[in-house]
Amino acid sequence: MDYSVNDINALKEYATINNIPIMQDEGIDFLTTFIMKKQIKNILEVGTAIGYSAIMMAKTSNDIHVTTIERDETRYMEALKNIKKFNLEDRITLIFNDALNVNLEEDFDLIFIDAAKGKNKDFFEHFEKNLAINGYIITDNMYFHGYVEMNEEEIPSKNIQGIVRKIKDYTYFLENHMLYKTTIYKVGDGVAVTERRG
């Protein structure tokens, strides 16, 4: 493969300079280790940004395929460029659309939700039909930069308060679901791993 640590660092630097939120190092390490350990092969990602996590997931193994969805045109174009740069066009399918307008037929071993934080439950419910029998749904930013653990009056804006409320609702939804069990890991910005109940 003809990519290097420098290429990955360039992606991360581009994201920092342009204020594009990408997974934290600890979160991406957790995700890629999980993919290797569970031998995940077919992944759906909701929220591509510039392709960083899709590229990191795809390069854990040559037989992994990632389908990833982004609704922002500038980020989508940047992701296209990056996927090409890493020669991953065959293994990463990039879809330019609002994820809630995308209807897919295939099943995925892993559905990774990392898009609009207030809509996690909508994404979950929209794509759960695409979860393979022994598959997992992973959701990032369950702590939302620490705001989830603050009292409401400490949270600086109404907008953030609204998102935090939705993340808490989503946490309750996951933890009390009849069909799925969820563990929230204290890594990165908080990662929820959901699987079917046995």
Catalog residues that contact ligand SAM under the rule CB under 6 A.
Answer: 21-23, 47, 49, 52-53, 69-72, 75, 98-100, 114-116
Q: Enter the DSSP assignment of 94.
A: E
In the complex, least distance from residue 155 CB atom to ligand SAM, rounded to whole angstroms = 19
Closer residue to ligand SAM in complex, CB, 69/192: 69
N- to C-terminal Cα separation, the chain: 39
The residue among 135 and 188 lying less far from ligand SAM, judged by its C-beta, is 188
Residue nearest to ligand SAM (CB): 47
88-112 burial, b at 16+ Cβ within 10 Å, e below that, comes to beebbebbbeebbebeeeeebbbbb
At its nearest, how many Å lie between ligand SAM and the CB of residue 133?
A: 25
Question: How big is the CA angle at 149 (ends 153 and 170), to the nearest 5 degrees?
Answer: 105
CB 42 to ligand SAM: min, Å: 17
Q: How far is the CB of 46 from ligand SAM (least distance, A)?
A: 6
The residue among 99 and 193 lying less far from ligand SAM, judged by its C-beta, is 99
For 41, half-sphere exposure in the C-beta direction (CA atoms, 13 angstrom radius) is 5
Strand partners, 108: 131
Q: Which is nearer to ligand SAM, 114 or 176 (CB)?
A: 114
